[in-house]
Amino acid sequence: MSDYVIETHRLTKQYNNGAGCRNISLSVPRGTVFGFLGPNGAGKSTFVRTLLGLLVPTDGTGHILGAPIGSVKSRENVGYLPELFRYPEWLTGRQLLETHAGLCGLARDERKKRIPFLLDRVGLSGRGEEKIRGYSKGMQQRIGLACALLSNPDVVFLDEPTSALDPIGRREVRELMNELRNEGKTVFLNSHLLSEVESVCDYIAIIHKGELIVQGEWRKLSAVKAQVEIALAPHADGLWESLAPIVVKAEPIRKEDDRSYWLVTLSDERDIPVLIHRLSEAGISLYHVIPRIPRLEDVFMYWVSRKESESFDVDYR
């Protein structure tokens, strides 16, 4: 059994206007929450729909749970919550789940247990007999989640799952994703909400203008630059220049009493103890040194900017 539940090789879906995604080679580890990031229009939803066989690829290959994408077998153990969906408004929430259970081939005895369990799990306990036309946007999002989880799939694709939810609802969905991961399931989260991804994902991939920029463990990818916040006693001008090349940049944050606070960017994380030693040698009092972990927004912008600069570096002579 492969360690990867989703694998693609140069998977491409191009439209006549040039939009879509191209040459996406991706590996999604089993039992993780995998964040697929990119701005609106980057090609995220096109890639997901191509994976699920809803679109025919222009080129490339892909597998889900070892089965070629587009095959029935590749979808047998998959749940999917689309970004834009509409359910028949005349049905109740329970009737909608009953209909989906029939399509999934769930036995009647299994439905009797599974449907109440899921209504409770997505926060709709006691609301299953209400018609969908009376559901708020958040409730419709929740019933969509229940539909995606109905067959107890090993892989769940969630396309912008918290777009209609309030802060409490978003937190509940994050908790649900953590629970699914703890059960050994894999969640493929398609989102442009970086704070959401940052709090729940183990791995990320960043797509920009239809191309994959980078993928991997997001904590490792976040090590794009070494920064520390330093509080120190008054010092002479030119201090930071004298510490080049280990200090790339020093930005003042604030002053308090007899100390000043700086955000210092280093050329390498291993230079932190060197910096402390050099400041001590210079007789400068240190009050604190706190490593700064970049936010996912910083990581995202770093890799996107790097890709853009590489594009401009092409030699056309």
Q: Are the C-beta atoms of 203 and 216 separated by less than 8 Å?
A: yes
pLDDT tens, 241-296? 888 888 888 888 888 878 888 888 887 778 888 888 888 888 888 888 888 776 66
Q: How confident is the model at residue 30 (pLDDT cuts 50, 70, 90)?
A: very high
| Residue 170 to residue 138: CA distance in whole angstroms | 10
Q: How confident is the model at residue 133 (pLDDT cuts 50, 70, 90)?
A: very high
At residue 311, the pLDDT reads 54
Average pLDDT over residues 220-233: 78
Residue of 295, 293, 294 lying closest to 194 (CA atoms): 295
Q: What is the crossing angle of helices 137-149 and 108-121, to 10°?
A: 140
Q: How confident is residue 119, by pLDDT bands cut at 50, 70 and 90?
A: very high
Per the structure block, which two tokens stand in for 169? 């609802």
The letter for the amino acid at 42 is: A
What does the alpha-carbon distance between residue 293 and residue 304 come to, in Å, rounded to a whole number? 19
- CATH topology for the 226-292 domain: Alpha-Beta Plaits (3.30.70)
Residues 32/188, Cβ–Cβ less than 8 Å: no
C-alpha to C-alpha distances, 91 to 112, 115, 123, 244, 286, nearest whole angstrom: 18, 15, 18, 68, 66
Q: Name the more confident of 72 and 235.
A: 72
What's the confidence (pLDDT) of residue 137? Answer: 84
In the predicted structure, residue 168 carries a pLDDT above the cut 60: yes
pLDDT for residue 314:
40
Rounded Cα–Cα distance for residues 31 and 92 (Å): 33
User: pLDDT category, 316, cuts 50, 70, 90?
Assistant: very low
Alpha helices in the chain (DSSP H): 44-51, 72-75, 93-104, 108-121, 137-149, 167-182, 194-200, 218-221, 239-242, 272-281, 296-312
Q: How many CA atoms lie within 13 A of 155 on its CB side?
A: 24
Residue keyed to tokens 């209400």: 130
Confidence of residue 223 (pLDDT cuts 50, 70, 90): low
Alpha-carbon distance of 261 to 171, in angstroms, equals 34
Q: Which fold has domain 4-221?
A: Rossmann fold (3.40.50)
pLDDT value at residue 186: 96
pTM for this prediction:
0.78
* Domain boundaries defined on the chain: 4-221, 226-292
